[in-house]
Amino acid sequence: MKSSPVHGGNIYEIASSQGRSIHRVLDFSASINPLGLSPVVRRAIRQAIPFAVHYPEIESLSLRRQLARIHKISEGCLAIGNGSAELISLIPRALHVRHGLVIGPTFVEFERALTQAQARCTYVLAQSDSDYTPPIDEACTLLDQQTGIRRSKKQSIDSPIDIVFLCHPNSPTGQVISRAQFHQLYESVQRAGACLIVDEAFIDYCVSRSVLRKVGTMAGLFVLRSFTKFFAIPGLRIGYLAGPEKEVSTIRSLLPPWSVNIVASAAAEAAVQDKAYQRQSVTFMNIERKRFRAGLQVLPYVQRVIPSSANFLLVQLSKDYSVARMVQELCEEGLVIRDCQNFPGIDVPTIRLAVRLPKENDRLLKALKRQPRQ
């Protein structure tokens, strides 16, 4: 695997190659809340600036206390990171993982974290023709086989799976699983003696699906959250991990000191209290995602638009359609989309589009209508 995987949001390179300012690029490749910074968060950022002359708290204790109260878990069960990506990269190393199972196609940083910790990475992959429904049965079957291996002590043949990554809702598919499927997966993970990492970077759009409250009561369950997407602060870098106290404390001890800056902490503390923005964002997304999806579904070269519970849509194009040409042509108009063909498990022409403001989505739809039919 390459050392720096492709992600959405690389607008700097695109803007510079086009000779435009980044403010003149419409980014549909990173899925950031199109409502932008909430006024409450903006104020908190402004008020935090004078504190930049001080070091931040070493282990982000104030934010951890606040999150502990909100989620009704102990502050010892929380670690704050410089983006949830920092925490993902530490998990396999901190937990001495040898073999991870990734439910894909999904965010490539799980595989990268495993590889960097010299652990093996196995995927179970959802299929495009079933709308990328997460392959929970397949994951459970694999885990149950591993349970057999562990019991018969044949570990020398192959190291059993000791960690499972589930992204929920999944990126790039937007798919969620039912409560029953979550319990089915968790039970298989438990029987296999492994732990389960649920990445809830996009959960704020369907928060009733969250399993964060179960941390502490379900052994071996870890939940990742990000402030990046929903609170539209990708440039500040802040996210958190909730999980069993002992393991989370190990992860905190591996973080560099002052990894989270004062401005990001202040923004996060304000964001979690801003219930009005949270409600407004969810209501907006439920309406606009439906409208945008309907506009995409009628394009002649669109095969299917996967139903999504997040703020983006995965769009499968007709066989042999040139995504590279589409990406390039849109780019020339200052419209950036995500080519998904480099996700392990996506081998048909597929793009991911963030759901943005109605007039921005209309601009993209108009440009997409000009694309060749074949």
Ligand X SMILES: Cc1ncc(COP(=O)(O)O)c(C=O)c1O
Question: Does residue 171 bind ligand X (CB under 6 A)?
Answer: yes
- The structure tokens listed for 300 are 């002649």
- Max CA-CA distance within the chain? 62
Of 81-89, 143-151, 155-163, 319-327: span binding ligand X (CB under 6 A): 81-89
Closest-CA residue to 330 (of 16, 12, 24, 26): 26
In the bound state, the residue with its beta carbon closest to ligand X is 83
Nearest approach in angstroms of CB 31 to ligand X is 7
Whether the Cβ atoms of residue 248 and residue 208 lie closer than 8 Å to each other: no
Whether the Cβ atoms of residue 296 and residue 315 lie closer than 8 Å to each other: yes
Other beta carbons within 10 Å of 371: 17
- Beta-strand relationship, 163-167 and 195-199: parallel
Question: Does residue 167 bind ligand X (CB under 6 A)?
Answer: yes
Nearest approach in angstroms of CB 226 to ligand X is 3
Question: Does residue 107 bind ligand X (CB under 6 A)?
Answer: yes
Interface with ligand X (CB under 6 A), residue total 13
Binder to ligand X among 59, 199, 288, 339 (CB under 6 A)? 199
Please say which residue, 85 or 95, places its beta carbon nearer to ligand X.
Answer: 85
Nearest approach in angstroms of CB 229 to ligand X is 7
Tell me whether residue 55 is exposed, middle or buried, using C-beta atoms within 10 angstroms of its C-beta: 0 to 12, 13 to 18, 19 or more: exposed
Please say which residue, 264 or 335, places its beta carbon nearer to ligand X.
Answer: 264
Whether the Cβ atoms of residue 197 and residue 84 lie closer than 8 Å to each other: no
* Helices and strands in the chain: count of H runs, count of E runs: 12, 13
Binder to ligand X among 76, 193, 234, 344 (CB under 6 A)? 234
Q: Which 261-320 residues touch ligand X, going by CB under 6 A?
A: none
Torsion from C-alpha of 133, 314, 275, 268, nearest 10 degrees: 100
Nearest approach in angstroms of CB 169 to ligand X is 9
Nearest approach in angstroms of CB 44 to ligand X is 18
Question: Does residue 228 bind ligand X (CB under 6 A)?
Answer: yes
Binder to ligand X among 92, 160, 239, 295 (CB under 6 A)? 239
**3-class secondary structure, 218:** strand
Q: Which residues bind ligand X (CB under 6 A)?
A: 7, 83-85, 107, 167, 171, 199, 201, 226, 228, 234, 239
